[in-house]
Amino acid sequence: MAARPKSLQIKHVKTFIVEGVGSGGDYHNVKGGHWLIDSPISTPMSGWEKYRSSRTSWGINVLGSFCVEIEASNGTKGFATGFGGPPACWLVKQHFERFLIGADPRNTNSLFELMYRASMFYGRKGLPVAVISVIDLALWDLRGKLYGEPVYRLLGGNTRERLDFYCTGPEPATAKQIGFIGAKVPLPYGPDQGPLGLHKNVQFLQNHRERVGPTFPLRVDCYMSLNVPYTIELVAACAHLSIDWWEECLTPDDSDGFAQLKRAHPTVKFTTGEHEYSRYGFRKLIEGRNLDILQPDVMWVGGMTELQRIAAMASAYDIPVVPHASGPYSYHFVISQPNAPFQEYLANSPDGKSVLPVFGDLFTNEPIPTKGYLDVEQLDKPGFGLELNPNARLISGDQLLTPAPQKGLEPPPPTGDDAMMSGEY
């Protein structure tokens, strides 16, 4: 086990973006023709015909991947990736770095609170919390390396010997053949495509059900694109298909709508959470008891520190937590949690028929499921166990911030009683 220094401080914080496509933590920054961006998928932008053919047309990949490296005073480094691109680099440099430099990197609870509360006036959700998430994951990677332990052991150890996966992609039948325990498909059409679109949705799901058989778990991702009346009608029209769950049917801000869905279909499973942020965002979802599974994304929700808090709340209500994608970051979490029964694998190959690393070529040794599962031994390396590819196409955030943006005003010098208390008089 690595020797643990008594005194430790963060010495350097570096940020990077990833040049090109297909590498890093932005799932959607992939080459044209990839199923994830260029196949029929209902989205919140489906109401405009010009934005239906490709999700990149309305900017789903506009930010791009983003990485953080945190170095401690003893030379140990933690590294993590997520999404956020150049704006994320700016936030780290101009805002969050002040809370990190000189701090003990093991104090993840305190550092999260400082960054979250300091950005509350413009954050709470979205990009600022996603940036905090990547910083937090880099800190957990660093902590694991300092202790010489994989992150899942720092979270309490493994609750099982292997991790089972379901696959999200366009080919459920292929996922079944590979060995995944279930499959999820994106819904092709939304409410704005009318009764014909609804009929096509039913036929689409009927075709997949026939291909995978009557008992294989088949799930549907609606990507925030439906409304309450349409969801109620669609679920009723698909009752004969035994859909295992309906995911993210409503906009994340319509948490009350899930109560209406549950009243209309009390025995149907509804899930959501990948686009919700922090424990505060999940509190109402949990307390409403209208959801059957929660799906936070650890690279967006606030990192491992905040995901633990969400899972603890959910466990008190017996609501399972099945994180959205996030590769090995999620694997370490799920293997350590009794109320996280399995994990999602987001098919990263262009046609969705093969199993490739979630983060592309950013790391040389990213673990991927084989035959639909992963043995816990594959996670037994310090931190998240990921080794950065020496040929990774990283661009330093410092290059993006040259010349540096204007800094904020410096705090005024202490005066009066403040000066007396600080000894500066």
Given 34, 275, 324, 332, the catalytic residue:
324
The two tokens of residue 397 are 């955030």
| Structure token pair of residue 250 | 């409503």
Tokens 């209208």, located at residue: 290
129-147 CB burial, b ≥16 within 10 A, e <16: bbbbbbbbbbbbbbbbbbb
Using CA atoms, how far apart are residues 180 and 368, in angstroms rounded to an integer?
12
What residues contact residue 16 under an 8 Å CB cut-off, 6+ apart? 66, 67, 68, 69, 89, 394, 395, 396, 397
User: Do 221 and 322 form a contact (C-beta atoms < 8 A)?
Assistant: no
Give the number of other Cβ atoms within 10 Å of residue 44's Cβ. 13
Q: Is 332 a catalytic residue?
A: no
Report DSSP letters for 70-127, one per residue.
EEETTS-EEEEEEE-HHHHHHHIIIIIHHHHTTS-TT-HHHHHHHHHHHTTTT-SSSH
**Total residues found in the chain within this entry:** 425
Give 32: exposed, middle or buried? Use CB within 10 Å, 0-12, 13-18, 19+.
exposed
**Which three-class secondary structure state does DSSP give residue 156?**
coil
Q: Which two tokens stand for residue 4?
A: 């643990």
Alpha carbon distance 244, 185 (integer Å): 12
The answer to whether 363 touches 388, Cβ cutoff 8 Å, is: yes
Report how far residue 99's alpha carbon sits from residue 336's, in angstroms, rounded to the nearest whole number. 29
Please state, in angstroms and as integers, the Cα–Cα distance from residue 423 to each residue in 410, 411, 412, 413, 414, following that order.
20, 17, 16, 13, 10
Residue 155 tokens read as 């979270």
Question: Which class for 31: exposed (0-12), middle (13-18), buried (19 or more C-beta within 10 A)?
Answer: exposed
Under a CB-based contact definition with an 8 Å cutoff, are residues 80 and 134 in contact? yes
Catalytic annotation, residues: 324
